[in-house]
Structure 1
């Protein structure tokens, strides 16, 4: 383990099947949105799943731990993050099951080829241009803002890479929902399932989980909201279950 960890990094326990991940506070550490997306997505037996903009590899590692897919890949444009993801894959002994590729989302279809995956996941930058607080650290800024790719880039490339009837899973912000759903339809990724995530039961949602299907028929299921916190600030039982934790309630 120590030979894979670099100065300033830490090893976090993912609390599922002994999986671990290397994290660096100076770069973009994964958050709750990645955990929620891994629980919302589905990867069936013999299916191949690709995570676009994988960062330090949290989604492929979580998906491999939760589902019985045949192969997982992650695409990341920032080489330092991609290298950290590869070291995390090696830390878990998953080199044969998970591949991390350095590359640009805008070129993803040419990298992987058409109709090459059954499942795509993406936790894209939420902010457009100057929206939100700009962070001087490049890795953090790229992770949070559409600096290197847009939602159009993500959807266009996903539409090519997915097989017919393939599934597209995304976590995003509700304030962009009209744009997201409209553009998903435009690129042939029909919205099929959606779930809003609320910090408290009486607060408006701050995340949305969306499933699209390539070539799917128009009809979308809206699931009950996921509530993150109880009134006392502790996680709800459902949120704890998604993290794999047991509660006494």
Structure 2
């Protein structure tokens, strides 16, 4: 097993998918948001999917268990890209998943315009000036803050990649709802499905999932709320199934 790992990396389980993923506490570990997005997005049985801001390849890995579609992950940071490539190879998924090292803004010109059925994206949530913790590693800072990619740029690239009628799904923070809806509509992505995630009953939503159709007709469905924890701080049944399977 050690030949697959570097430095402080570890090999974690994706239990519901029966897969393994390489992670690092100092470089990158995926959050629940990636799980939520992978379960929320409408994926075709076949076709082609692009995952933008792929990190260590977690969303392509999640999606591979639920579709036969070809999946391309795009990641800017070489270290995260390398972790993703090794995870894909460890799980013997090279025939289905391909990683591309590069800028999300350049993805349409490099991968092809209007070629894909689905685009997923877990973009940086926070504005660049909100980076106040100087102890945050460069890898986490780039993944979480708009240092190299803004929300508008991510939505623009997603739209250019999609075929007409293709679907784009994003996970973000509820306080950026108007920003993401405005960006989607400005780029021919009509919001069609939305869901708010709450840490517990009685708490404010802290995560937003939204999916749009390129050149779709207006008509937004608000899905039932999803709660992460019960009062005893254990996962709710819905989250347990997402993480651990039936």
Decide whether aligned partners of structure 1 residues 17 and 200 sit closer, same or farther in structure 2, where only a CA change above 3 A counts: closer
Tell me if structure 1 keeps the 8 A contact 2:16–2:242: no
- Does residue 187 of structure 2 align to residue 197 of structure 1? no
Offset at residue 158 of structure 1 (A): 1.1
In proportion to residue count, which structure has more helix? 2
| Secondary structure in 2 matching 1:167 | strand
Match of 2:125 in 1: 126
SS in 2 for 1:16: helix
- Work out the CA distance in 1 between the residues paired with 2:188 and 2:64: 27
The list of structure 1 runs, each at least 4 consecutive aligned residues, that deviate by more than 6 angstroms after superposition, is none
Structure 1 residue 245, shift from structure 2 partner:
4.1
**Would the alpha carbon gap of residues 100 and 124 (structure 1) be closer, same or farther in structure 2, given more than 3 Å must change?**
same
In structure 2, C-alpha distance between the alignment counterparts of 1:6 and 1:14, rounded to whole Å: 20
CA distance in 2, matches of 1:15, 1:150: 32
- Give me the whole-angstrom Cα distance separating, in 2, the residues matched to 1:7 and 1:175: 37
| Equivalent in the alignment of 2:84 | 85
Task: Look up the SS of the partner of 2:49 in the other structure.
Answer: strand
Equivalences, count:
245
Counterpart position of 2:10: 10
TM-score by length of 1: 0.95
- Corresponding residue of 1:172: 172
Q: Give 3-state SS (helix, strand or coil) of 1:49's partner.
A: strand
Distance 1:133 1:233, change over 3 A: farther
User: Residue in 2 aligned with 1:57?
Assistant: 57
CA contact (8 A) 2:194 2:210 kept: yes
Q: Could you list the runs of 5+ residues in structure 2 that have no partner in the other structure? A: none
Output the CA distance in 2 between the equivalents of 1:133 and 1:239.
Answer: 31
CA contact (8 A) 2:152 2:180 kept: no
Secondary structure in 2 matching 1:8: coil
1:59 and 1:219 mapped to 2: Cα distance?
Answer: 27
Aligned to 2:186: 186
Unaligned runs of 5+ in 1: none
SS at match of 1:210: strand
| Alpha-carbon distance in 1 for matches of 2:185, 2:74 | 24
Structure 1 residue 52, shift from structure 2 partner: 0.3
What is the CA RMSD across the aligned residues, in angstroms?
A: 1.2
Task: State the alpha-carbon separation in 2 of the partners of residues 12 and 144 from structure 1.
Answer: 22
CA spacing shift, 1:129–1:56, aligned 2, 3 Å? same
2: CA distance between counterparts of 1:133 and 1:29? 20
Per-residue CA deviations over 1:103-149 (Å, capped at 9, x if unaligned) read 10111111111112100000010001222543541101001100001
Question: In 2, distance between residues paired with 1:168 and 1:195?
Answer: 14
Structure 2 match to 1:223: 223
Aligned-pair CA distance for 1:201: 1.1
2:145 matches 1:145: yes
- Looking at structure 2, the residues matched to 165 and 244 of structure 1 have their Cα atoms a distance apart, in angstroms, of 33
What is the TM-score with the length of structure 2 in the denominator? 0.96
Structure-2 residue corresponding to 1:37? 37
